Structure 1
Amino acid sequence: MENGYLRLFVEETSMYNRIVLGSMLPAKMWISLPHFLQSWLRNYVGGVLLYLLSSSLWCFYIYYLKRNVYIPKDLIPSRKAMLLQIVVAMKAMPWYSLLPTVSEYMIENGWTRCFPLFSDVGLMAYLGYLLTYLIIVEVGIYWMHRELHDIKLLYKYLHATHHIYNKQNTLSPFAGLAFHPIDGILQAVPHVVALFLVPSHLTTHIALLFLEAIWTANIHDCIDGKIWPVMGAAYHTIHHTTYRHNYGHYTILMDWFFGTLRNPSSDELKKDI
């Protein structure tokens, strides 16, 4: 790629750095940092704010404003449990922030198949590429998640950190990012792998990585949305209670295809908890 084309990526990520860091931190704290560190700091600040705000607002809505509507009172996790989940997620957040920073670095240096502008490909091609990207992510996260269970060493030293939340009264939106940092990064790696396999829009890629925080908060709230084929919270709650079903990410399709799907019902959930 020509340097002028690659410069468009750098200009865009620099703009995001100015918007996020410039509005939240004194200039002397970040403006003299190298571009890579600025991007990491922006991703860290953005990740922390998105995680805390989205999870806090959702917890306030379902546990207080709608108390006993979605979640019975005796199944609401304690404040202590939610605080523990926040502590685990905050310890991992500096490491989580490295993944989008590294992916941006690779994009800025022309190592991927990314493009900066919609006009580079057109709407229909963009939608086709986006669908392919999401399929790669869905397949990749399913198998990554499944192997984190099937390979005993990976489960013991990485994924078990997340699975201490194994009942409805210990699961909350804050559990969505409460992983060992390497575990959390591994499960997001398919987003980066997709950049090398299919043309991808830079801003869409960054947005999808950060939307993971909102999505994982949603599937840990124990509320059954029942929208086929979405991997709703009821499916993911079963995953936390049986450990061997419903490994999928956005949908249940991979679990259905590979025989690991278990459909939720009130009787099954009561039996497992």
Structure 2
Amino acid sequence: MEDKYLQFFLDETSLYNDIVLGHLLPSSWWVSLPRFFQTWLRNYIAGTLLYFISGFLWCFYIYYLKRNLYLPKDAIPTTKAMLLQIYVAMKAMPWYCALPSVSEYMVENGWTKCFASICDVGWFAYIISLIAYFVVVEFGIYWMHRELHDIKPLYKYLHATHHIYNKQNTLSPFAGLAFHPLDGILQAVPHVIALFIIPTHFRSHVALLFLEAIWTANIHDCIHGKIWPIMGAGYHTIHHTSYRHNYGHYTIWMDWMLGTLRDPEEDVFEKVK
């Protein structure tokens, strides 16, 4: 029975491979690859496309269509800065894509608490599990991010790569994935740890991992959305300029509870004083 249930996961990941690889590559290039490498190749292609499409569309909107509406002219990053961010992100992308490939392998082998369909648990249980998943991920990313600052060797050899973007005019949506490869993986690991703690809908897990690319692009655009309690770009820009505040990922809750929150409006007030 367990093997039959695990087949649902195998069928789903095979569908994802067919959608991405089957439409973009000749079948002779990938069908003979071991399953894990098919998954990695699919994740690499999908992740790269998502990074470039979301980054270019968002940059086009805020820097050209709405130029000077959201950001003053001197806060717009140079083309050189954005190209450097793309270069760093693309060097790391093959390594980033190993993490969802490993998580899918563990799900396919029944090592996690994933379930295949919402019908298996019902909508109420699905929503509760999704909230619990977000809580575990938020908790994990907060502490992982904070320790990447507090443990000096981790900061020096890993996280400092991302923090060269420490002014408003050096941050752009393309900085969202401009990390040392191990740094980026460590900050995404809570998504995988959650699978062993929380019953998680597999498709939702895959979607949320890839939506990280869009979310991280959003919080590096320097535009303060003012949607409480979301950890938007206004908060994250302060993180890049102060280094010691706003470690959270999706929300401000962890920073608020642990005393590391710095509000963008209060920050502006302090600068004016």
Please classify the TM superposition score into its range, dividing by the shorter chain length: over 0.9
Amino acid at match of 2:45: V
Matches for 1:43-192 after TM superposition, within 5 Å: 43-192=43-192
| CA–CA separation in structure 1 for the residues paired with 2:269 and 2:16 | 43
Partner of 2:195: 195
3-state SS of 2:228 partner:
coil
Q: Does the CA-based 8 Å contact 1:238-1:269 persist in structure 2? A: no
| CA–CA separation in structure 1 for the residues paired with 2:267 and 2:209 | 35
Partner of 1:253: 253
Displacement after TM superposition at 1:159 (Å): 0.2
| CA–CA separation in structure 2 for the residues paired with 1:185 and 1:97 | 9
Deviations 1:61-86 (A, max 9, x none): 00001000001111100000000000
Amino acid at match of 1:93: M
Amino acid at match of 1:39: T
Displacement after TM superposition at 1:31 (Å): 1.2
Partner of 1:16: 16
| CA–CA separation in structure 2 for the residues paired with 1:269 and 1:54 | 33
| CA–CA separation in structure 2 for the residues paired with 1:181 and 1:269 | 37
3-state SS of 1:10 partner:
helix
Amino acid at match of 1:244: R
Displacement after TM superposition at 1:2 (Å): 1.4
Partner of 1:212: 212
| CA–CA separation in structure 2 for the residues paired with 1:256 and 1:16 | 39
Q: RMSD of the alignment, in Å?
A: 1.3
Q: Which consecutive unaligned segments of at least 5 residues does structure 2 have? A: none
Go from structure 1 to structure 2 and tell me whether the alpha carbon gap of 1:8 and 1:201 turns closer, same or farther (over 3 Å shift).
same
3-state SS of 1:32 partner:
coil
Amino acid at match of 2:46: G
Q: Does the CA-based 8 Å contact 1:116-1:202 persist in structure 2? A: yes
Q: Which consecutive unaligned segments of at least 5 residues does structure 1 have? A: none
Matches for 1:215-226 after TM superposition, within 5 Å: 215-226=215-226
| CA–CA separation in structure 1 for the residues paired with 2:71 and 2:20 | 35
Report runs of 4+ in structure 1 exceeding 4 Å deviation. 269-272
Normalising by structure 2, what TM-score? 0.97
Normalising by structure 1, what TM-score? 0.97
Amino acid at match of 1:128: I
Provide the aligned length of Structure 1 versus Structure 2: 272
| CA–CA separation in structure 1 for the residues paired with 2:242 and 2:215 | 21
| CA–CA separation in structure 1 for the residues paired with 2:203 and 2:42 | 14
3-state SS of 1:116 partner:
coil
